[in-house]
Amino acid sequence: MNPDIVCLRDDFRLDDQPAIAASAERPALYVYVHDQSPRNGRPLGGAAKWRLYQSLKAMERRLAENGARLDVLAGPADATILALARAAGASRVLWTRRYEAAGMALDAAVKAALRERGVEGESFNGRLIREPWEFDRGDGHLPRSFSAFFRRHQSERDMPAPKPAPARLSSAPWPEGAPERAPIEALRLTTTKPDWSGELALGERPGEEGGLAALRCFVEEGLSGYASDRDLASGEATSHLSPHLRFGEVSAIRAAYVVDGVAARQRLRRDAEKFLSELGWRDFAALLLYAHPDLAAKPLRPEFERFPFREDEAAFRAWSRGETGYPIVDAGMRQLWRTGFMHNRVRLVAASFLVKHLLIDWRRGEEWFWDTLCDADPASNPMNWQWVAGSGADAAPFFRIFNPMLQAEKFDPDGAYVRRWVPELARLEAPHVHRPWNATEAALSRAGVVLGKTYPRPMVDHAAARARALAAFEEIKAEPTA
C-alpha cells in the first residue's frame, strides 16, 4: 500500500490532530522538515528554537509509544517534500494549515506540484478554533475589530469538537532513494546566542503530555477565579498553555472544549468566557496576520509610519536586560530573559514602557520578544505589540500610558513578583518595592539597597516621559505637509 506522508509543523501532538487522524488507517511517514529560510515562514528566534527542540523530542517519544516513528529532514521544505513523495510513491501528503503569507505560498506551490505528479496534497485546520476565511461573508471583508470578530466567533456555529488520538499508528519503512534523515540533535536548535542553560521554560513540561497536564491543572486549580485574577503578575491564575499552543502540543479546540465542559459542570461561566475570549484573541491574531502579511513590519494605522521614534541603543539595552530602574518592568524583562516567558499583564507594562516611556520603535521590542519568548508566535506577537503601540486595528489609544507603579501596585500588591525576579530589592518593604526611589535612606539601608549602585535609579522620569510621549503623538496627529 502506498504510504501517506504527514508533514508535522507546529502541530506536535496526537490528540485532535486532523492530519494524523486522516492517515491513521494506513502506514504513513511522519516527517518534520527543518527549513529556516524566510520562504518557509519567519525564522524562529533563539528561545523558540530551544522550545522546538523540546517539542520534537517529545513528539518522537509520543509517536514511538504509539507504534510510529518521527523522521526528521533538513533542507528546502518544498523540494524535500516533493523528493520524499516521489521516493515513497506516496498517494497523499497531509499537513496542518498556516496563516503567514510566505508559508501559505510555499504550501500552495507544493500542493500544485504534487497534483502534477498525481499526488493529493490535503491540508487541515489543526491550529485555530476558527480560520480567518470563516469570517468572510462573501464580500471579501474580514472583521477589523476584536469585538466584531469575537461576536461572530462565538455565534456562527457550535464550537468544533476535538477528535481523540488514534488508537494506534504505524510508520511505513523509510523509502529507498529518499532524502537522508537527520537526528534531532543535528538541527542544532539548542545552540543559541545566550546561555539559556537552566531556567528556560522553568516549571513547564514541554510536549503533548505536559500540555494536557497543564490544561488539567488549569481547570482544576486556575479556572475558578480566572476572570478576576488573571492579571495578577504571580501568574497562578493563568493556564501557561501558550508554548504548548504555539507548538501545537495541545489544540486550541481541545483547550476550549475542556474548559467549556468543566465550566458547565462547575458553574464557572464567567471564568470560562474570559478564557475563551483569550483563545479568541489568538484566532484574531491569525486573522490579522492573514489579512496583513506584514503585521510585524508595518503599522496597521498608517499615520504611525511617521511616529518620531528615537534611536537609543543604551536605553534599549537597559530595557532588554531589565535595568530600567522601574522594578515591575525589570522583573518582567528578567523573567523573560531567564525563562522565555512573561506574564501577560507584565508584557503589556514592559512593552508600553519601551514604546511610550523610551519612545523606541515597537518593532525593536517585537523582535526582542520574538527572540526570547518560548511562545513567540508570528501572529500574536506583532498583533500585541501593535496593540500596545496604539498602531493596531483596534488598539488601546496611544494617549493611554501605563503608569508602571500603579500597575505594579494593582497587579503585584505584595511585591512578590518583583522580589522574585529582582532579588536585589527582595528585602524592601511592600510600599517601596515598586518605588524604591521614594524609600527613606533608612529603609533602603535596612534592605541593603544603594540606588544607582545595587539597583539603578529610574532611567527616565515618569511624568516627563509621559509628557514627551504625548507630544510625539501630537506630531503624527497633525496632517503631513506635502
* CB of residue 173 to ligand FAD, shortest distance in Å: 38
* CB of residue 258 to ligand FAD, shortest distance in Å: 12
**Which H/E stretch holds residue 267?**
none
110 vs 241, beta carbon nearer ligand FAD: 241
34 vs 363, beta carbon nearer ligand FAD: 363
Q: Using CA atoms, how far apart are residues 363 and 87, in angstroms rounded to an integer?
A: 43
337 vs 385, beta carbon nearer ligand FAD: 385
Beta bridge partners of residue 7, listed in sequence order: 31, 95
Full 3-state SS string of 158-211: CCCCCCCCCCCCCECCCCCCCCCCCCHHHHCCCCCCCCCCCCCCCCCCCCHHHH
Instruction: Using alpha carbons, select from 191, 179, 192, 190 the residue that is nearest to residue 72.
Output: 179
417 vs 455, beta carbon nearer ligand FAD: 417
CB count within 10 Å of CB 455 equals 21
Q: Using CA atoms, how far apart are residues 221 and 237, in angstroms rounded to an integer?
A: 8
Angle CA 151–154–158, to nearest 5: 150
121 vs 243, beta carbon nearer ligand FAD: 243
Q: Among positive and negative, which fits the CA dihedral 383, 387, 391, 394?
A: positive
42 vs 240, beta carbon nearer ligand FAD: 240
* Residue 386 exposed, middle or buried by CB count within 10 Å (0-12, 13-18, 19+): buried
Phi, psi of 94 (to 5 degrees): -120, 140
* CB of residue 259 to ligand FAD, shortest distance in Å: 9
Interface with ligand FAD (CB under 6 A): 230, 238-242, 245-246, 278-279, 281-282, 285, 344, 347-348, 351, 369, 373, 375-377, 380-381, 384-385, 388
73 within 8 A of 223, measured Cβ to Cβ: no
279 vs 291, beta carbon nearer ligand FAD: 279
- Dihedral, CA atoms, 339, 337, 359, 455, nearest 10 degrees? 110
371 within 8 A of 45, measured Cβ to Cβ: yes
* Residue 208 exposed, middle or buried by CB count within 10 Å (0-12, 13-18, 19+): buried
62 vs 347, beta carbon nearer ligand FAD: 347
* Residue 111 exposed, middle or buried by CB count within 10 Å (0-12, 13-18, 19+): middle
351 vs 444, beta carbon nearer ligand FAD: 351
